[in-house]
Amino acid sequence: MKTAEVKSFYACSGCGSVFARWHGRCPDCGAWDTLHEEKDSARPAPAKSTAKKRRVAAPAATPLADVQPDTAGFIATGIAEFDLTLGGGAMPGSTVLVGGEPGIGKSTLLLQVAGRLSQRGIPTLYVSGEESAAQIKHRADRLGIRSGLHLLTETDLAAILAAADQLKPHPRALILDSIQTTFDRQWQSPPGTVAQVRECAAAISDWARRHDAVAFVIGHVTKDGFIAGPKVLEHMVDTVLQFEGDRRQWIRLLRCLKNRYGPTHEVGLFEMTEAGLNEVTDPSGHFLTDHAPGGRAAGSAVAVAIEGRRPLLLEIQSLVGQGVGNSPQRVVSGPDPRRAAIIIAVLQNIAGLSLSGRDIYLNITGGFVTDEPAVDLGCAVAVASSALKRPADPRTVWIGELGLGGEIRGVPQIKRRLIEAEKIGFQRAIVPAANQRDIAYGGEMQIEPVGRIDQALAGI
């Protein structure tokens, strides 16, 4: 008797594309080293019966005019930073993916979310394939969760959905921790593979849609962003949140990367404490280090970024060193590395700073990451200040985008940035000359418009 031949295929953990041959670089998304072998027998055999043979009960189509709008509205947790990041709450019937590096606090956040939802009378089921019930109970005690939340430790998809369906009252919120530990028995590939992640996410989303519930799905993301999972999932879910921050620091950012039902680019701020995550509703000054009244050391400058709905003051620090050998270090963490490369080139070629062959370190305190162009000028001033060994004025904020020709470009929402800086106690702002007309600024700060980088550096 002939045995069925088991064929292999290769799935990209970045984009989910499938290939017959292995490639070092995914031909579809261009990512390196993301193709992994999966067995063809993992694919369920196609149903033998054709549509002709099978009888399917015909569902009745509804006239659009008869469809009732969703009166229940958003499902909100009451944790303002979380709800606002979602644009007011989660839409019933939708799936929200919460991605982040291991250890950043995803389980903590979602357990708190689950606790608050059930406290508000929303039947909630927290499913974990990551930890034991005792561990979760221990964490819940630490977080002060005493609501009627239901807990299930399970990794089998069918069992999870069966448990959810059996629960009375029926859950309106389901938290799945995590998509990488969940598996569908119909598929032979192990949990965490592209095939499993995709199937499980599809089944969970389908469950949420059918029950008008919201599913929060946790997914681990590795440092370089490529994982067996979340990248593939981003297209399948309604909303994508990313939990980020520096694990050694307390500040955490919840960033909205995609939202079918609300604004994207919203950011929620939290602080990791001994008793879980606290909301940071007034982030002003959180990213500024404390300085002695004497002022800042050379290499530090304060910029004002707008993240989502609010302005944030960011302290940018740079160290320009001597450099050993002919390959100087360029280490950038916080600002966008591509923008940093442009800033360094402009400082060197246009402002005439001697940076070639020197090591340059550039970072944002608090582990904050941003690609907002308005922080360019702050980065440039930090680097120049360190290179020139001249401390920047500690009472000044620097706002502006840097162009390749050394011009300072205008930035959006200048007024909101200035109001925030003044609130924290800054007294002077260097702003793009292009913004001069938008500033009907009623505050007390001294405003100095600049058109070019050399002009700005003269004000350090």
4 interface partner picked from ligand TYD, Mg ion, none, CB below 5 to 8 A per type: none
276 binds, among ligand TYD, Mg ion, none (CB under 5 to 8 A by kind): ligand TYD
Stretch of residues binding Mg ion (CB under 5 A), selected from 105-113, 256-264, 380-388, 439-447: 105-113
Q: Tell me if 283 contacts ligand TYD by CB under 6 A.
A: no
Q: Does 134 bind ligand TYD (CB under 6 A)?
A: no
Give 59 or 103: the residue with its C-beta nearer to ligand TYD: 103
User: 413: which 2 tokens?
Assistant: 């929402």
Q: How far is 9 from 19, CA to CA, in rounded Å? A: 6
> Minimum Å distance from CB 137 to ligand TYD?
12
Report, in Å, the least distance between residue 246 CB and ligand TYD: 12
When CB distances are held under 5 to 8 angstroms depending on the partner's kind, the choice from Mg ion, ligand TYD, none that residue 105 binds is ligand TYD
Residue with tokens 């995609």: 258
CB 113 within 8 A of CB 299: no
**Least Å from the CB of residue 242 to ligand TYD:** 11
Please name every residue paired with 217 in a beta bridge, in sequence order, or none if there are none.
Answer: 97, 176
107 binds Mg ion (CB under 5 A): yes
Judged by beta carbon, residue 100 or residue 268, the one nearer ligand TYD is: 100
Stretch that binds ligand TYD, among 41-49, 53-61, 100-108, 440-448 (CB under 6 A): 100-108
107 part of the interface to ligand TYD, by CB under 6 A: yes
Q: Which residue is nearest to Mg ion (CB)?
A: 107
Task: Tell which one of 272, 377, 380, 402 touches ligand TYD (CB under 6 A).
Answer: 272
CA 53, CA 25: separation in Å to the nearest integer? 43
Q: Tokens at residue 247, please? A: 């694990």
Q: Which of 137, 142, 146, 291 binds ligand TYD (CB under 6 A)?
A: 142
| Partner whose binding site includes residue 417, from Mg ion, ligand TYD, none (CB under 5 to 8 Å by kind) | none
In the bound state with Mg ion, the residue whose beta carbon lies nearer, of 107 and 196, is 107
CA distance 269 to 313: 13
Contact residue for ligand TYD among 120, 139, 150, 209 (CB under 6 A):
139
- Whether the link from the prior residue into 189 is cis, omega within 30° of 0, is no
Of 217, 204, 224, which is closest to residue 31 (Cα–Cα)? 224
Of 29-37, 267-275, 321-329, 418-426, the segment contacting ligand TYD by CB under 6 A is 267-275
Q: Which does 142 bind (CB under 5 to 8 A by kind): Mg ion, ligand TYD, none?
A: ligand TYD
* Least separation in angstroms between CB 208 and ligand TYD: 21
Q: How far is the CB of 276 from ligand TYD (least distance, A)?
A: 4
> Where on the chain is the footprint of Mg ion (CB under 5 A)?
107
Instruction: State the residues that interact with ligand TYD by CB under 6 A.
Output: 100, 102-108, 139, 142, 272, 274-276
